[in-house]
Every structure is written in C-alpha cells, then in structure tokens.
Amino acid sequence: MREPDIQYFAESGTWRKPAGAARVDVLLKAGSGGSAVAGTDGSGGTLRFESFAAAGIADEVGVVIGRGGRGPGGADGYALVLTHFSPAEGQE
C-alpha cells in the first residue's frame, strides 16, 4: 500500500493534488494573537480539521497562512495536508 503524501505549509503557497489521490485530510492552525500587555499571553489560534474526497478538489489549491501577533505569545499559523491513495489493483 502506498504511504500518504504529507505536505506542511508554514508559508502561503500552492498545494498540488498528487496523481492517484483518493482522500485529502487538512489540518489548519490559525495564527495566534500577541500580548497586548507585557506578561500576558496572546489568544490561541483556532485549530480545524477537514477530510475531503480527492475527486472533489481542484488539481491546485492556494494555501494562505495567517501571521500571528508579534508580541509574546503570538505564533504564525500553518497547514498540514495528508493525501491518501487508493490501494493499487490486487493490493489490500
């Protein structure tokens, strides 16, 4: 069985659907806020997970990564895209 294709985006870019893709799992982490007052942490960025049938996704998809606040506690977002493949005929 073919191993999943794993792509990590720390910056905005383009995801390209690999040939033979069956399902795509996407984990998105929004940028988190920085401190407004010294000594306090910023708010955490939202975490979201979605799973899609690969047939319903375009061959190229733009990925936009949000920047976090620049004070203490701020962190940039990221995206993790896992592409799963159907087993080749005769394999299970």
Grade residue 89 by pLDDT with cuts at 50, 70 and 90: very low
Per the CB < 8 A criterion, the answer to whether 17 and 54 are in contact is yes
- List the structure tokens of 35: 């401190």
Residue 92, pLDDT above cutoff 60: no
| Domain coordinates in residue numbering, the chain | 5-85
How confident is the model at residue 76, as a pLDDT?
87
Q: What is the pLDDT of residues 7-43, one digit of tens each?
A: 999 999 999 999 999 999 999 998 887 655 555 555 6
Mean pLDDT of 49-76: 88
How confident is the model at residue 62, as a pLDDT?
96
Strand order in the sheet with 21-29: 5-9, 78-85, 21-29, 47-53
